[in-house]
Amino acid sequence: MAEPTPVLPEVLSQIRALPVSERPLVICDVDEVILHLTTHLEDYLHARELMFLKHEYRFTGNIAHNKDKTAISSEEVRRHLLTFFDEVSHAQDMVPGANIALGELSETWDIVLLTNLPGGQNKPKREKLLAELGIPFPVLTNSGPKGGAVSALAAGRPNPVIFIDDSPTNHTSVNASLPSAVQIQFIADPRFRETVEQEDHIDLLTGDWQETAAYIGRIL
Protein backbone atom coordinates (compact mmCIF):
# COMPACT_ATOMS: atom_id res chain seq x y z
CA MET A 1 0.00 0.00 0.00
CA ALA A 2 1.47 3.34 -1.04
CA GLU A 3 1.64 6.25 1.40
CA PRO A 4 -0.11 9.53 0.53
CA THR A 5 2.37 11.94 -1.05
CA PRO A 6 2.38 15.70 -0.39
CA VAL A 7 1.66 18.11 -3.23
CA LEU A 8 4.83 19.84 -4.49
CA PRO A 9 4.98 23.61 -3.79
CA GLU A 10 5.35 24.41 -7.52
CA VAL A 11 2.20 22.38 -8.25
CA LEU A 12 0.26 23.95 -5.38
CA SER A 13 0.98 27.42 -6.77
CA GLN A 14 -0.45 26.33 -10.16
CA ILE A 15 -3.55 24.94 -8.40
CA ARG A 16 -4.03 28.21 -6.48
CA ALA A 17 -3.89 30.13 -9.77
CA LEU A 18 -6.95 28.25 -11.14
CA PRO A 19 -10.30 30.06 -11.05
CA VAL A 20 -12.29 29.15 -7.92
CA SER A 21 -15.07 26.70 -8.84
CA GLU A 22 -17.44 24.30 -7.11
CA ARG A 23 -18.26 22.34 -10.26
CA PRO A 24 -17.44 18.62 -10.36
CA LEU A 25 -13.91 17.94 -11.56
CA VAL A 26 -12.21 15.67 -14.08
CA ILE A 27 -8.40 15.52 -13.70
CA CYS A 28 -6.91 14.12 -16.89
CA ASP A 29 -3.36 13.12 -17.84
CA VAL A 30 -2.03 14.00 -21.31
CA ASP A 31 0.60 11.49 -22.52
CA GLU A 32 -0.89 8.19 -23.75
CA VAL A 33 -4.36 9.52 -22.85
CA ILE A 34 -5.00 12.68 -24.88
CA LEU A 35 -1.81 12.60 -26.95
CA HIS A 36 -0.07 9.49 -28.22
CA LEU A 37 3.26 8.86 -26.51
CA THR A 38 4.52 5.31 -26.98
CA THR A 39 4.20 5.29 -30.78
CA HIS A 40 6.25 8.51 -30.96
CA LEU A 41 8.75 7.15 -28.44
CA GLU A 42 9.17 3.96 -30.48
CA ASP A 43 9.92 6.04 -33.59
CA TYR A 44 12.46 8.03 -31.58
CA LEU A 45 14.09 4.87 -30.24
CA HIS A 46 14.18 3.12 -33.62
CA ALA A 47 15.96 6.12 -35.16
CA ARG A 48 18.70 5.57 -32.55
CA GLU A 49 18.84 1.77 -32.88
CA LEU A 50 17.10 1.35 -29.53
CA MET A 51 13.93 -0.56 -28.68
CA PHE A 52 11.50 -1.55 -25.93
CA LEU A 53 12.24 -5.08 -24.70
CA LYS A 54 8.62 -5.55 -23.58
CA HIS A 55 5.41 -3.54 -23.97
CA GLU A 56 5.55 -2.90 -20.26
CA TYR A 57 5.09 0.14 -18.05
CA ARG A 58 8.75 0.54 -17.32
CA PHE A 59 11.47 2.59 -18.99
CA THR A 60 14.58 1.72 -16.98
CA GLY A 61 15.67 -1.83 -17.78
CA ASN A 62 13.16 -1.97 -20.64
CA ILE A 63 14.88 0.24 -23.25
CA ALA A 64 17.75 -1.57 -24.93
CA HIS A 65 20.09 -1.57 -27.91
CA ASN A 66 18.60 -3.32 -30.99
CA LYS A 67 21.81 -5.19 -31.67
CA ASP A 68 22.42 -7.10 -28.48
CA LYS A 69 19.29 -6.31 -26.41
CA THR A 70 21.35 -4.84 -23.58
CA ALA A 71 19.40 -2.31 -21.52
CA ILE A 72 20.67 1.26 -21.36
CA SER A 73 21.31 2.86 -17.95
CA SER A 74 18.72 4.83 -15.99
CA GLU A 75 20.83 7.97 -16.63
CA GLU A 76 20.70 7.35 -20.40
CA VAL A 77 16.94 6.74 -20.19
CA ARG A 78 16.51 10.05 -18.38
CA ARG A 79 18.59 11.88 -20.99
CA HIS A 80 16.69 10.31 -23.90
CA LEU A 81 13.32 11.20 -22.38
CA LEU A 82 14.38 14.85 -22.03
CA THR A 83 15.55 14.95 -25.67
CA PHE A 84 12.45 13.10 -26.80
CA PHE A 85 10.04 15.57 -25.15
CA ASP A 86 12.04 18.51 -26.51
CA GLU A 87 11.62 17.05 -30.01
CA VAL A 88 7.97 15.92 -29.98
CA SER A 89 6.03 18.10 -27.52
CA HIS A 90 4.84 20.44 -30.29
CA ALA A 91 3.71 17.64 -32.64
CA GLN A 92 2.27 14.59 -30.84
CA ASP A 93 -0.77 12.98 -32.48
CA MET A 94 -4.11 13.15 -30.68
CA VAL A 95 -5.76 9.98 -29.42
CA PRO A 96 -8.96 9.74 -31.54
CA GLY A 97 -12.04 11.28 -29.95
CA ALA A 98 -10.23 12.96 -27.03
CA ASN A 99 -11.24 16.48 -28.09
CA ILE A 100 -14.90 15.55 -28.67
CA ALA A 101 -15.23 13.60 -25.40
CA LEU A 102 -13.57 16.29 -23.27
CA GLY A 103 -15.59 19.01 -25.00
CA GLU A 104 -18.84 17.21 -24.16
CA LEU A 105 -17.78 16.54 -20.58
CA SER A 106 -16.78 20.18 -20.09
CA GLU A 107 -20.46 21.17 -20.30
CA THR A 108 -20.94 19.55 -16.88
CA TRP A 109 -17.46 19.12 -15.46
CA ASP A 110 -14.41 21.32 -15.03
CA ILE A 111 -11.48 19.71 -16.82
CA VAL A 112 -7.93 20.14 -15.53
CA LEU A 113 -4.99 18.52 -17.35
CA LEU A 114 -2.29 17.22 -14.99
CA THR A 115 0.87 16.19 -16.83
CA ASN A 116 4.36 15.06 -15.83
CA LEU A 117 6.10 16.82 -18.70
CA PRO A 118 9.89 17.13 -18.44
CA GLY A 119 11.47 20.42 -19.50
CA GLY A 120 9.79 23.70 -18.44
CA GLN A 121 10.18 25.04 -21.99
CA ASN A 122 7.88 22.27 -23.28
CA LYS A 123 4.78 23.39 -21.36
CA PRO A 124 3.91 26.31 -23.71
CA LYS A 125 4.42 24.00 -26.73
CA ARG A 126 2.04 21.47 -25.20
CA GLU A 127 -0.56 24.15 -24.34
CA LYS A 128 -0.43 25.50 -27.90
CA LEU A 129 -0.79 22.03 -29.46
CA LEU A 130 -3.72 21.13 -27.18
CA ALA A 131 -5.47 24.43 -27.90
CA GLU A 132 -5.06 23.85 -31.66
CA LEU A 133 -6.64 20.41 -31.22
CA GLY A 134 -9.68 21.96 -29.50
CA ILE A 135 -8.59 21.00 -25.97
CA PRO A 136 -8.30 24.42 -24.32
CA PHE A 137 -8.23 23.36 -20.66
CA PRO A 138 -5.76 24.44 -17.96
CA VAL A 139 -2.47 22.48 -18.06
CA LEU A 140 -0.73 21.83 -14.73
CA THR A 141 2.76 20.31 -14.71
CA ASN A 142 3.71 17.91 -11.94
CA SER A 143 6.63 15.59 -11.32
CA GLY A 144 6.54 12.25 -9.55
CA PRO A 145 3.40 10.44 -8.30
CA LYS A 146 0.22 12.48 -8.69
CA GLY A 147 -1.68 11.65 -5.47
CA GLY A 148 -0.78 14.85 -3.63
CA ALA A 149 -1.71 17.08 -6.55
CA VAL A 150 -5.01 15.26 -7.13
CA SER A 151 -5.93 15.49 -3.46
CA ALA A 152 -5.17 19.24 -3.43
CA LEU A 153 -7.17 19.76 -6.64
CA ALA A 154 -10.16 17.92 -5.11
CA ALA A 155 -10.47 20.34 -2.16
CA GLY A 156 -13.82 22.15 -2.29
CA ARG A 157 -15.13 20.04 -5.18
CA PRO A 158 -18.14 17.72 -5.12
CA ASN A 159 -17.52 13.99 -4.82
CA PRO A 160 -16.43 12.07 -6.72
CA VAL A 161 -13.49 13.61 -8.53
CA ILE A 162 -12.56 11.69 -11.70
CA PHE A 163 -8.91 10.82 -12.34
CA ILE A 164 -7.83 9.62 -15.80
CA ASP A 165 -4.23 8.43 -16.33
CA ASP A 166 -2.36 5.59 -18.01
CA SER A 167 0.30 5.07 -15.34
CA PRO A 168 -0.15 2.34 -12.70
CA THR A 169 2.17 4.32 -10.38
CA ASN A 170 -0.04 7.41 -10.56
CA HIS A 171 -3.17 5.37 -9.92
CA THR A 172 -1.62 3.70 -6.86
CA SER A 173 -0.63 7.14 -5.60
CA VAL A 174 -4.11 8.61 -6.14
CA ASN A 175 -5.72 5.64 -4.42
CA ALA A 176 -3.50 6.31 -1.38
CA SER A 177 -4.16 10.08 -1.29
CA LEU A 178 -7.79 10.31 -2.45
CA PRO A 179 -9.49 6.89 -2.23
CA SER A 180 -12.88 8.43 -3.08
CA ALA A 181 -11.68 9.30 -6.61
CA VAL A 182 -13.18 7.45 -9.56
CA GLN A 183 -10.08 6.06 -11.26
CA ILE A 184 -10.02 5.48 -15.01
CA GLN A 185 -6.87 3.84 -16.36
CA PHE A 186 -6.75 4.97 -19.99
CA ILE A 187 -3.99 3.47 -22.14
CA ALA A 188 -4.21 4.38 -25.82
CA ASP A 189 -1.75 1.75 -27.09
CA PRO A 190 -3.47 -1.67 -27.13
CA ARG A 191 -0.16 -3.57 -26.80
CA PHE A 192 0.66 -1.78 -23.53
CA ARG A 193 -2.97 -1.95 -22.34
CA GLU A 194 -2.96 -5.73 -22.74
CA THR A 195 0.00 -6.16 -20.38
CA VAL A 196 -1.81 -4.32 -17.55
CA GLU A 197 -3.86 -6.23 -14.96
CA GLN A 198 -6.85 -4.21 -13.73
CA GLU A 199 -6.17 -3.48 -10.06
CA ASP A 200 -8.92 -3.26 -7.41
CA HIS A 201 -8.79 0.54 -7.23
CA ILE A 202 -9.28 0.93 -11.00
CA ASP A 203 -12.94 1.54 -11.86
CA LEU A 204 -12.49 1.38 -15.64
CA LEU A 205 -9.57 0.16 -17.79
CA THR A 206 -9.95 1.43 -21.34
CA GLY A 207 -8.33 2.97 -24.40
CA ASP A 208 -11.55 4.39 -25.84
CA TRP A 209 -12.72 7.98 -25.40
CA GLN A 210 -16.38 7.25 -26.26
CA GLU A 211 -16.50 4.59 -23.57
CA THR A 212 -14.77 6.94 -21.13
CA ALA A 213 -17.20 9.81 -21.77
CA ALA A 214 -20.22 7.50 -21.47
CA TYR A 215 -18.87 6.06 -18.20
CA ILE A 216 -18.30 9.50 -16.67
CA GLY A 217 -21.66 10.69 -17.99
CA ARG A 218 -23.42 8.04 -15.90
CA ILE A 219 -21.74 9.17 -12.65
CA LEU A 220 -23.62 12.43 -12.06
Is residue 189 a contact point for Mg ion (CB under 5 A)? Answer: no
Identity of the residue numbered 135: I
Is residue 29 a contact point for Mg ion (CB under 5 A)? Answer: yes
Closer residue to Mg ion in complex, CB, 99/169: 169
For the beta carbon of residue 144, count every other beta carbon within 10 angstroms: 14
Q: Which of 7, 101, 146, 166 binds Mg ion (CB under 5 A)?
A: 166
- What angle is formed at CA 33 by the lines to CA 140 and CA 59, rounded to 5 degrees? 90
Nearest distance in Å: CB 44, Mg ion: 16
Binding mask 31-70 for Mg ion (x = CB under 5 A): xx--------------------------------------
Number of residues in contact with Mg ion, rule: CB under 5 A?
4
Output the CA–CA distances (angstroms, integers) from residue 187 to 10, 124, 192, in the order listed. Answer: 27, 24, 7
DSSP 21: -
Binding mask 89-128 for Mg ion (x = CB under 5 A): ----------------------------------------
| Residue number closest to Mg ion, CB atom | 31
Closer residue to Mg ion in complex, CB, 33/152: 33
Which residues neighbour 167 within 8 Å (Cβ) at sequence distance 6 or greater?
29, 57
Report how far residue 204's alpha carbon sits from residue 199's, in angstroms, rounded to the nearest whole number: 10
Report how far residue 80's alpha carbon sits from residue 41's, in angstroms, rounded to the nearest whole number: 10
For Mg ion, the binding residues (CB under 5 A) are: 29, 31-32, 166
